[in-house]
Amino acid sequence: MSEKSTAERYDVVVVGAGAAGLNAALVLGRARRRVAVVDAGEPRNAPAAHLQGFLSRDGMPPAALLAVGRAEVTRYGVDLIDGRVEDAGPTELGFVVHLAGGPVLHARRLVVATGLRDGLPELPGLAERWGRDVLHCPYCHGWEVRDRPLGVLGTAPGAVGQALLLRQWSADVVLLAHTLAPTDTERERLAARGVRVVEGRIVRLVADDGRLRGVELDNGQVVTRDAVFVVPQPMPRDALLFGLDCARDDNGWVTTDRTGRTSVPGVWAVGNVADPRAQVVSAAGMGAAAAFALNHDLLDEEIGRAVGLSRASGPALPV
């Protein structure tokens, strides 16, 4: 059979079932749109035990939030498809979406909610502790490690700002300089804030009994810490967007309006793929905002088509 006859047809295909994609699907499903959500099952915060800072959901395991979201969208007839979208391209009526392994979907509109990957510094012992006691976001994890001995790894220029901020949660914050050379002004600010700078290259992170013990330096010293913070490199999963020729900003990120609408008609980008600062609650909000705008876009198209048909069929007959 041809691709056209086997493909499922939807008003909207949402790629990614994190908070952003699921909230878009929820609003669209409730608006009686035919929606599919395709998800590869790798949400960014999966390594964390709890998600914080989301009103009414504070402390919930990340997977539990997504399970509730998935149950909610299916109530409104949204199709959830486990799989990976490999590419998407334009068609006369919208878009064709190719999934790994062969399935094909057709959609009038696309929501790309594929999130980002955190590029972590390559230090022995670090990756396996990510999201547990190797952390990145004081707003997500600061409360849980408050008043404890904390370290900030000097692997990226943002580490100085992170250390200054983190001091708000603990009086014992050390900046492990590693490859960073703070300026005199930065050192003055760190000292004034009570943040110690420890010079020396980091060799590895040391753990005992499944918990971080500290950070080993190249002089053999182990700086004992309960948790360390890093500044990861945000790497948006944006191949679909740029495969469709969406415009980028000067930093290489997709450009959107306030609803997530990209430069390509019919394509929206929401959540971390469009904004690395989006937290779970704001990613969900971006999904909802996109769904409202997208529904009106579909509505305009439908009204335009109906007006065209009614003009073509001539004036209505008196009843």
The footprint of ligand FAD (CB under 6 A) covers 15-21, 38-45, 47-48, 51-54, 84-85, 113-115, 118, 131, 137, 140, 237, 271-272, 278-281, 283
Other Cβ atoms within 10 Å of 296 Cβ, number: 12
Given the complex with ligand FAD, which of 26 and 177 has the nearer CB atom? 26
The token duo for 273 is 């793929």
Residue from 297, 278, 301 nearest 16 by CA? 278
Given the complex with ligand FAD, which of 154 and 271 has the nearer CB atom? 271
Residue 27 exposed, middle or buried by CB count within 10 Å (0-12, 13-18, 19+): buried
In the complex, minimum distance from the CB of residue 40 to ligand FAD, in angstroms, rounded to a whole number: 4
Give the DSSP letter of residue 189. H
Given the complex with ligand FAD, which of 127 and 306 has the nearer CB atom? 127
Do 269 and 176 form a contact (C-beta atoms < 8 A)?
Answer: no
Do 49 and 144 form a contact (C-beta atoms < 8 A)?
Answer: no
The token duo for 255 is 């450009």
In the complex, minimum distance from the CB of residue 115 to ligand FAD, in angstroms, rounded to a whole number: 3
Given the complex with ligand FAD, which of 19 and 195 has the nearer CB atom? 19
In the complex, minimum distance from the CB of residue 161 to ligand FAD, in angstroms, rounded to a whole number: 18
Given the complex with ligand FAD, which of 52 and 177 has the nearer CB atom? 52
Do 230 and 134 form a contact (C-beta atoms < 8 A)?
Answer: yes
Given the complex with ligand FAD, which of 51 and 80 has the nearer CB atom? 51
In the complex, minimum distance from the CB of residue 191 to ligand FAD, in angstroms, rounded to a whole number: 30
CA distance 126 to 140: 19
Give the DSSP letter of residue 271. G
Given the complex with ligand FAD, which of 16 and 154 has the nearer CB atom? 16
In the complex, minimum distance from the CB of residue 133 to ligand FAD, in angstroms, rounded to a whole number: 11
Half-sphere exposure of 37 (CA within 13 A, CB side): 31
In the complex, minimum distance from the CB of residue 208 to ligand FAD, in angstroms, rounded to a whole number: 22
The token duo for 191 is 């000292």
Identity at 193, one-letter amino acid code? R
In the complex, minimum distance from the CB of residue 81 to ligand FAD, in angstroms, rounded to a whole number: 9
As beta bridge partners, residue 39 has 82
